[in-house]
Structure 1
Amino acid sequence: MGPAAAEKSLEITRSLIDLAKIEHGLSKPLTVCFDEWNVWDPVRAPGEKGAEEHYDLSDALAVAAWLNVFVRKADIVKIACIAQSVNVISPIITSPEGLYRQTTYFPLHLFSNLMRGSSLDVLVTTPSVDSYYTGITVPAFIRNITLHTPDLAKLTKYIDASAVLANTAQGTKEIRIAIANRSAEQEYEVPIVFGPNVAVSKTITVHEVWHEDLRATNNFGDEKVKTITKETKFGGAYKLKKHSFQILIFTVA
C-alpha cells in the first residue's frame, strides 16, 4: 500500500504547507519533489545483494498506482523521480548481450508518453464492500482510514484511476484515463461518465498491460507482459480485466 500511504502523506504535506504559509504570511507557491519512489521488496531483493528485483505483473500494477497518485496530485507534485532506472530495482535489466524490459517498464512508458497535459478530477465510487480491499495493510493506518471514511475517501479501492486533458499534434483534444484494476480475481464493468457538455468519440484507443497470470514475469527474449494497443467501441462503460492496467484515449468531439 505504498502508493496509498504516499497519497495520504501528500495530502498531509499540502496542509502543513498551507499552515506554514498562513503563519508566516507567505504567498509564493510551494510544491513537492517526491524523490526515489518505486516498488522494492527487500526480502525478495536484499540491498546487500544488489537489490536486483525480478518484477511480475503485480509490480507493474503497483507502478501504475504510484503514477496515478502523481497525476492526481499534479498541482502540488512537480517532480517525481523513480529509483532506479537500470538493473537495481529498475524497469530495464541489462547484460553484456543485451537488455530486456521488465513488467514495470510498460506502465512507466505509457504514463511518460501519454499522461501529459492538464490533470483532471476523477471520482471513483465503490458501491459495495467488495469494491475495495479491507485486509491487512502496510502501513496499518491505510486500513484504518479505509474502514472509517466515506466512499470517496477510501484509499484501497480496487479501481484506481487518473486522467488528463491533452492537446494532440493534429490540433484535437483528448481525454486520457489511466485505470488499474488491482483485484486479483474480479473483472469490473465500469461506467465512465464525463462532465456536462463533454462529448467524446464512440471509438476509443486502448493501451493495455495484462497477462492471465498475475505472477507473470519478463526475461531476456521473453516478454510475457507488454503493452497491447487496440481500438474498440465505447458505449458508456468499459470492462476491466482482472489485475489489468490500461490507458483509454477518448477524442473530444
Structure 2
Amino acid sequence: MTLKATVIADADFVISKLDRRLFGTFVEHMGRCVYGGIYEPGHPTADANGFRQDVMALTRELGPTIVRYPGGNFLSGYDWEDGVGPKENRPIKLDLAWHSTETNEFGTNEFMVWCKEAGVQPMFAVNLGTRGPDEARHFLEYCNHPGGTYYSDLRISHGFTEPHNIKFWCLGNEMDGPWQTCAKTAHEYGRIAQETGKVMKWVDPSIELTACGSSQRLMPTYGKWEYEVLDTCFDQVDYISLHHYMRNDGNDIKEFFAEIEALDYFITEVAAIADAVAASRRSTKRIMLSLDEWNVWYKAHTPDDLKKPGWPKAPPLLEEIYNFEDALVVGGALIVMINHADRLKAGCLAQLVNVIGPIMTETGGPAWRQTIFHPIADCTRLGHGEVLRLKVDTTTFETKSQGDIPHLLTAAVRDPQTGHVAIYALNRSTEDAMELDIDLRGMGAGLALVAATELHHADLKIVNTKDNEVIKPVPNGSATVKGSRLTAQLKPQSWNVFAIETQQ
C-alpha cells in the first residue's frame, strides 16, 4: 500500500521568523562531555588549548548555534570562581550531582575560547541551588563588565581584556526536581529568580534571562509551577524553560513516535500558561520559551549509568548508543520545534558529545557521528528565514497514548532574502511508502530542486559505530520539481529533506 499526502506551502502564510538559537546544544560537566569530549589535552588531535579538533570539526559540521553551559544538575552545586584563574590554583571538589570528582581544569574562560573557535554563541547559567543573587551578579560582572571593578579586573588579570558579553542566561536548573542540590518550591524559586534577575539586569540591562520551568511534563507540580514562578518573576525574565526527554520503554515504535506529540502539547501548554500570567496583569509582554534540554534518552538509564562508585574523574555516564528509530524521533521533534517558532526561540539538544550526544568519542581514539547527528545537521544547515504555515492532508495511525496521529510530519522554512526553501518530512509509517505532493505557492518563478536526501533503513535498531557509520543521508532520486509542485516518494520510516531555490 502507498499512502498519499498533500501539502500547501504559501510564501504569504508565515508562522514566524525562525530564531536560529533553536538549533543549540548543551555542554555540562558530566561524564565525558567536557573531559574526553570537547577537551582532552594530549589527544592526537588536540590543539594548544587542549580542544579535540576531531570533535571540533564534527561540531562545526553539526552546526549548533548556541551552547548551554556549565549545567545541568552540575550547576546547582557549582562555584563559578573555582573555574577561573591559573589552573594550578583551582580547587578539586566533589560534584554531588553526578557523584564525581571535578578538577575545574576547564571553566568559564576555556569554554568561551572554545565557543569562539567553534563559532557558537554561549548560553550561561547561574547557580540558584547552593548560591544566589550575589554570586550571580558577581559572575555577570566578571563576564560582561568592561573593567575598572573588582570582578571585571579579575577577568582581565586572567588574560581576557575584552568582556565576554554573554547575553543569554539561565536562572538555575530544574529547581523543581527533588534530585537537585537544594531544590526549591515554586514560591522559593520564584522569589530567588525575581531577585537574581533584578540585580543581573542592573549590572547588564542587555541580557536575556530564562526562568526554570518544570523539569518534565509529568512532574506532579507541572502547570502550577510555571504559573506561580512566572507570576512572581514575570517582570524580570524573558523566557521560561522546558525539558523534554523522549523514551521508548515499551519497544513500541508507534508509541515512540507519539512522544513527539507529547512535546507538541508541552510547548502549547507552557505558552498558554505564560499568556495566562500576562493576561492576569493585562500585559502585552509575551514570555518566550526555551527548550534548553531535549533529546531521546531511555537506554542508558540505570543507576550505574547515572553514578559510578568512588568519586571518579570524568567517568562514562549516560553514553546512550543511538539507533535509527532514535534518529527518526529526533527529526520529528525538530519539525515540531520549527513549527512552534512563534513562541519557541531557543533549544539545546542535551548534550553535545558522549553524554546522550550526537557525537561519540573514544578517549585517546576517534570521534564519530551517532545516528541522531544527521537530522540536526540538516536543520542547522538549511533552516534559515521564516517558518511557513502549512496545510497538510495526510493519513493517520492509532496510538495508545495520543490517539490518532498523522503519518506525515512536515515543516517548511523559506528565506525571503534568497528565496531558498527547506522542507523537512518524516514518514512515520513503518510499513508503507508515501507519495508526497507539495504545492509551493508564491515562491517566485523558476523553482529548482537543489538537493533531496533521505535517512532510511529497514532495521530500526541499527546503530553507527566508530568503524561503520551506516546511517547517513543518501540522495532521494524520486524527488522532482515541476512548476510550483514538488513531488517525491518517501520510504517507510524515513526522514527526508528537500532544498529548493527560487528566482525572485
TM-score by length of 1: 0.83
Secondary structure of 1:201's match? strand
Of 23, 27, 33, 2:290 maps to: 33
Question: Does the CA-based 8 Å contact 2:419-2:443 persist in structure 1?
Answer: no
The answer to whether 1:163 aligns with 2:412 is yes
Query: CA separation in 2, counterparts of 1:21 and 1:213?
Result: 48
> Which residue in the other structure is 1:123 paired with?
391
The answer to whether 1:6 aligns with 2:263 is yes
Query: Quick one: which amino acid aligns to residue 391 of structure 2?
Result: L
Q: 1:179 to 1:56 in 2, by over 3 A?
A: same
**Of 202-211 and 115-124, the range deviating more from structure 2:** 202-211
Query: CA separation in 1, counterparts of 2:337 and 2:439?
Result: 22
Query: CA separation in 2, counterparts of 1:8 and 1:120?
Result: 20
User: Unpaired runs of 5+ in structure 2?
Assistant: 1-257, 306-316
> Which residue in the other structure is 1:135 paired with?
399
Query: CA separation in 1, counterparts of 2:462 and 2:424?
Result: 21
Query: CA separation in 1, counterparts of 2:303 and 2:284?
Result: 42
Query: Quick one: which amino acid aligns to residue 112 of structure 1?
Result: T
Question: Does the CA-based 8 Å contact 2:434-2:491 persist in structure 1?
Answer: yes
Question: Does the CA-based 8 Å contact 1:31-1:77 persist in structure 2?
Answer: yes
Q: 1:196 to 1:6 in 2, by over 3 A?
A: same
Q: Report the Cα offset of residue 234 of structure 1.
A: 2.2
Secondary structure of 2:441's match? coil
Query: CA separation in 1, counterparts of 2:393 and 2:276?
Result: 30
Query: CA separation in 2, counterparts of 1:115 and 1:197?
Result: 16
Q: 1:230 to 1:2 in 2, by over 3 A?
A: closer
Q: 1:133 to 1:74 in 2, by over 3 A?
A: same
> Which residue in the other structure is 1:97 paired with?
365
Query: Quick one: which amino acid aligns to residue 7 of structure 1?
Result: D
> Which residue in the other structure is 1:215 paired with?
461
> Which residue in the other structure is 1:193 paired with?
439
Partner deviation per Cα, 1:164-199 (whole Å, 9 max, x = no partner): 1125xxx63111111111211110001111235755
The answer to whether 1:243 aligns with 2:493 is yes
Secondary structure of 1:225's match? coil
Q: 1:234 to 1:40 in 2, by over 3 A?
A: same
> Which residue in the other structure is 2:276 paired with?
19
Query: CA separation in 1, counterparts of 2:303 and 2:419?
Result: 45
Query: CA separation in 1, counterparts of 2:329 and 2:270?
Result: 22
**Percentage identity across paired residues of the two chains:** 27
Query: Quick one: which amino acid aligns to residue 75 of structure 1?
Result: D
Of 196, 199, 205, 2:451 maps to: 205
Question: Does the CA-based 8 Å contact 2:278-2:286 persist in structure 1?
Answer: no
Query: CA separation in 1, counterparts of 2:501 and 2:465?
Result: 36
Query: CA separation in 1, counterparts of 2:481 and 2:409?
Result: 20
**Of 174-183 and 203-212, the range deviating more from structure 2:** 203-212
The answer to whether 1:84 aligns with 2:351 is yes
Query: CA separation in 2, counterparts of 1:181 and 1:47?
Result: 35
Question: Does the CA-based 8 Å contact 1:61-1:243 persist in structure 2?
Answer: yes
Secondary structure of 1:214's match? coil
> Which residue in the other structure is 2:341 paired with?
74
Q: Report the Cα offset of residue 211 of structure 1.
A: 2.4
Q: Report the Cα offset of residue 3 of structure 1.
A: 2.0
Partner deviation per Cα, 1:97-150 (whole Å, 9 max, x = no partner): 111101000111111111121111122212xxxx222032xxx3x22xx3xxxx
Aligned-pair Cα RMSD in Å:
2.1
User: Unpaired runs of 5+ in structure 1?
Assistant: 147-155
> Which residue in the other structure is 1:151 paired with?
none
Query: CA separation in 1, counterparts of 2:346 and 2:455?
Result: 25
Query: CA separation in 2, counterparts of 1:230 and 1:125?
Result: 22
Q: 1:177 to 1:27 in 2, by over 3 A?
A: same
TM-score by length of 2: 0.43
Q: 1:105 to 1:197 in 2, by over 3 A?
A: closer
Question: Does the CA-based 8 Å contact 2:427-2:494 persist in structure 1?
Answer: yes
Query: CA separation in 1, counterparts of 2:443 and 2:495?
Result: 28
Q: Report the Cα offset of residue 17 of structure 1.
A: 2.3
Q: Report the Cα offset of residue 84 of structure 1.
A: 1.2
Query: Quick one: which amino acid aligns to residue 89 of structure 1?
Result: I
> Which residue in the other structure is 1:149 paired with?
none
Number of equivalences: 230
The answer to whether 1:48 aligns with 2:315 is no
Query: CA separation in 2, counterparts of 1:132 and 1:21?
Result: 36
Question: Does the CA-based 8 Å contact 1:200-1:250 persist in structure 2?
Answer: no
Q: Report the Cα offset of residue 241 of structure 1.
A: 1.0
